[in-house]
């Protein structure tokens, strides 16, 4: 009946520094901040809530799966956030985004579908509406 919400991890346990390039998948628990580049998937593991911070100069080419996610850099690939997703002003995501709760700052860009996954088995897809043209030929 009641769903226990997990608090996001507030502390950063691991840092991938600027100038660092990792080729391969990264799995982590707790808090991870990326200032460098990862060419591979980034997944949080374990049952505890995890936090991933992708800084302004960071870049990930691969799938990102984590409960609490803050993006201010670049992600090329799908993004899945089961808890809270924050897209800061310099965020650039090229790929589909699945989220439960989202905060999107002015200037953030998503080139892909945005799908809300609030309840298991129930999704809402956001689509951009296009102008409807009249069939009668008149204005």
Q: Is residue 31 part of a domain?
A: yes
Instruction: Give the model confidence (pLDDT) of 33-77 as tens digits.
Output: 999 999 999 999 987 889 999 999 999 999 999 999 999 999 999
Q: Is residue 41 part of a domain?
A: yes
Q: What global pTM score does this model have?
A: 0.79
Q: Is residue 118 part of a domain?
A: no
Q: Is residue 67 part of a domain?
A: yes
Q: Contact 95/81 with Cβ under 8 angstroms? A: no
Q: Contact 56/36 with Cβ under 8 angstroms? A: no
pLDDT, residue 85, reads: 97
Q: Is the pLDDT reported for residue 102 higher than 50?
A: yes
Report the alpha-carbon distance of residue 136 to residue 139 in Å, rounded: 8
As for how many domains the chain has, the answer is: 1
- Tokens 């800084």 belong to 55
Q: Is residue 42 part of a domain?
A: yes
Q: Is residue 53 part of a domain?
A: yes
Q: Is residue 25 part of a domain?
A: yes
Q: Which two tokens stand for residue 94?
A: 């090229």
Q: Is residue 115 part of a domain?
A: no
Residue 92 φ/ψ, nearest 5 degrees:
-135, 110
The residue segments making up the domain with residue 23 are 14-106
Q: Which two tokens stand for residue 31?
A: 């808090």
pLDDT, residue 2, reads: 42
Report the alpha-carbon distance of residue 109 to residue 135 in Å, rounded: 34
């Amino acid at each position: 009946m009641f769903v226990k919400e997990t608090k996001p991890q507030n502390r950063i346990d691991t840092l991938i520094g600027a100038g660092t390039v990792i080729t391969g998948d990264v799995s982590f628990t707790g808090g991870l901040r990326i200032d460098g580049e990862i060419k591979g998937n980034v997944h949080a593991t374990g049952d505890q809530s995890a936090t991933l911070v992708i800084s302004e100069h960071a870049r990930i080419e691969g799938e990102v799966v984590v409960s609490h996610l803050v993006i201010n850099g670049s992600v090329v690939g799908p993004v899945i956030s089961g808890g809270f997703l924050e897209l800061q002003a310099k965020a650039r995501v090229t790929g589909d985004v699945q989220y439960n709760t989202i905060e999107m700052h002015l200037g953030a860009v998503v080139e892909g579908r945005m799908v809300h996954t609030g309840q298991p088995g129930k999704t809402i897809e956001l689509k951009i509406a296009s102008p409807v043209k009249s069939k009668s030929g008149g204005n």
